Amino acid sequence: MKGHFYDNERVALFIDGANLYSAARALGFDIDYRRLLTVFREKGRLVRAYYYTALVEDQEYSPIRPLIDWLDYNGYTMVTKPTKEFTDATGRRKIKGNMDIELAIDVLEMAEHLDHVILFSGDGDFRRLVEAVQRKGLRVSVVSTIKSSPPMVADELRRQADDFVELSELAPLIARNPSERAARPAVAAQFAHRDQDGELDDAPSEALMRSA
């Protein structure tokens, strides 16, 4: 994996869940979030790993809930909010669930405790955020991909970052075994083995959760 990391630097991950999922899907793999955490714990002093996603609250069962619960129990700080429903100019029902403000506030508030921000998103709206924390003396690495068609990372964000980590090159280190994607999420959630602390051994497949 390309990128500059130092053993003694304080690192935090800020994961735009929907954006990262879309990038990984475009590259044809599903993320193993246990492996992802392990990779970055080995790169420096991991202070926090944030995962951001919006939830549809009026659903009796949210397909992504098992993944959120697993992440919450296994080293991730979950930041969620309910989606908002609205009707557009053509009369179509739309659902909005943007987490950009929440992510930006957390990055700025955590800046004084960090040396290196790892941003898992290709959203060009984060360019000014990256610039702002760089002025505070932090380095920022952006994880996304230019290998998809179209590229998932905005050119202005990639240019602003200190380092760009190509997700396809990171995939061998964080990809879920394809054979594990066969289990349906309800089955995985019901029968997944738990360790002595009551934590799930493996994260449910995000691809199955979001497509359910």
Domain 10-86+93-211 = CATH 1.10.10.10: no
Q: Which residue has the higher pLDDT, 87 or 135?
A: 135
Percentage of the chain lying above the pLDDT 70 cut? 76
What angle, 0 to 180 degrees and rounded to 10, lies between the N-to-C axes of helices 127-135 and 100-110? 10
pLDDT at position 56, please? 75
pLDDT at residue number 98: 79
Please give the residue that has the higher pLDDT: either 3 or 79: 79
Beta-bridged to residue 165, according to DSSP, are 143
CB atoms within 10 A of CB 100: 15
What pLDDT digit, counting tens, does each position of 152-191 carry?
Answer: 999 999 999 999 999 999 999 999 987 765 443 433 333 2
The number of angstroms, rounded, from the C-alpha of 6 to the middle of its chain's C-alpha atoms is: 22
Stretch 139-151: mean pLDDT: 96
Q: What's phi and psi for 97, nearest 5 deg?
A: -150, 60
**pTM metric for this prediction:** 0.81
- Give the 3-state secondary structure of residue 1: coil
3-state secondary structure 82-140: ECEEEECCCCCEEEECCCHHHHHHHHHHHHHHCCEEEEECCCHHHHHHHHHHHHCCCEE
Q: Which residues pair with 140 in a beta bridge?
A: 117
For residue 104, the model assigns a pLDDT of 97
